[in-house]
Amino acid sequence: MVQSLIQSSFGYYKNSSVQEVDSLHLCVEYGHHYLTLLVFDQQKQPIIIETYVLKEGLDVYTLEYILSTEKYSGKNFIDVFVVVNTPESSLVPEQFAKDHLSDAIYKTMFGDLQYIDVKSEHVAQWELYNVFGLEKSVYEFLAERFKDIKVTHFISVGLVSMFKNNLEDLDSFLKIYFTQNYITLFLVRGAQLQFAQSLYYETTEDAIYQLLNLIDKYKMDLKDIKALVSGHIDEDSATWKELRKYILDIALENSIISSSELESEHIVGSHFFTPHLHILQCV
C-alpha cells in the first residue's frame, strides 16, 4: 500500500504554473524518512518544492504515486537529479580513492544486506571522493521513466555549497542541517574539513549531545565557532532555543525563497527549503 496516499508536509509553489514554463528540471532528494521533489527552470529558479515525511522509507510505489499527480505527470523534464541523503556515505582522500575499491569500502562500512548500487563521486573542492549507496529499485524506476539521470549525495552538494558560500568563515565553522530524524553536521577548522556526516536523533537532548560531543572531540571552543542552521527546524522549537544557549554566533541560513512567497497553508520558515536548493549550485 502506498504510504497512506501521502500528502506533502510543506511546500513552495511559484505563482507561474509548471505548464507555463518550458525546459524544466526535476530533482528527487530522499533520506530514510523523507522525500523532497524540486522542479526548477533553466535560470535555476525553483518552481515547485514539496517535502513528504515517510514512515517506512522511500519505495518505488510511493515515488510513482507522487510523480503521477497532476503537478508532475506528463512533464518532459530535460534531466533528473537524484540526491541521496542517507547517513551511509564515506569520504575518502582523493589520493587513496580507486574505483575498484568503492564497493569494498561501502560494504565494509555499512554491510551488504541492502539492494543498492555503490556510487563514488569526486568532490574536487575538498580533494575527496564520496562513496555512497543508491537504492537500486529507485534508480531503475527513474532510469526507465526519464532519459537523463544524474546521481549525487547530499554530503557532496553540501560541501560544494559551503566552499562556494562560506570561504570567509572556514577558520572555525559549523554547518547544521535538520531533516526528519537526522542532523547533518559539517565542521571546519583552519579551512580543513574535520567532520561531515549525518547522525540519527529523536529528541532535543539527542541533537545537543551529538553537537557537544563533536565539538569536544575536536577540541574546539564554542565561543569561537560560527554556525549556520537550516532545514526542518522550527524557530520556536526547543532544539533551536537550546542551540542558541550553547553557540553565541549562530543564525538560520538565508534562503533565496522569502517568507512572503510561502503558501499560507504551509507555514514554515524559508530556511526549511535551503538544504534542498543546494543542487542548484552544482548543475
Q: What is the pLDDT of residues 122-136, one digit of tens each?
A: 999 999 999 999 999
Q: Is the pLDDT of residue 265 over 60?
A: no
Q: How confident is the model at residue 17 (pLDDT cuts 50, 70, 90)?
A: low
**Domain ranges in the chain?**
1-161, 166-252
Q: Range with the lowest mean pLDDT among 4-18, 179-193, 204-218?
A: 4-18
| Spatial strand order in the sheet of 182-189 | 192-200, 182-189, 172-179, 226-231, 249-252
Mean pLDDT of 43-72: 92
* CATH domain 166-252 topology: Nucleotidyltransferase; domain 5 (3.30.420)
Cβ(94)–Cβ(57) below 8 Å:
no
Angle at 58 between CA 2 and CA 86, to 5 degrees: 165
Return the CATH number of 1-161, one of 3.90.550.50, 3.30.420.250, 3.40.190.10, 3.40.50.11540. 3.30.420.250
Share of the chain above pLDDT 90, in %: 74
Cβ(180)–Cβ(10) below 8 Å:
no
Distance of alpha carbon 48 from its chain centroid, rounded?
16
Highest mean pLDDT among 4-18, 159-173, 199-213: 199-213
Report pLDDT for 6.
76
Cα distances from 4 to residues 11, 53, 131, 166, in angstroms, run: 19, 11, 33, 41
CA dist., res. 186 & res. 177, Å (int): 9
The most distant pair of C-alpha atoms in the chain lies apart, rounded to whole Å, by 54
Please indicate, yes or no, whether the overall pTM of this predicted structure exceeds 0.75: yes
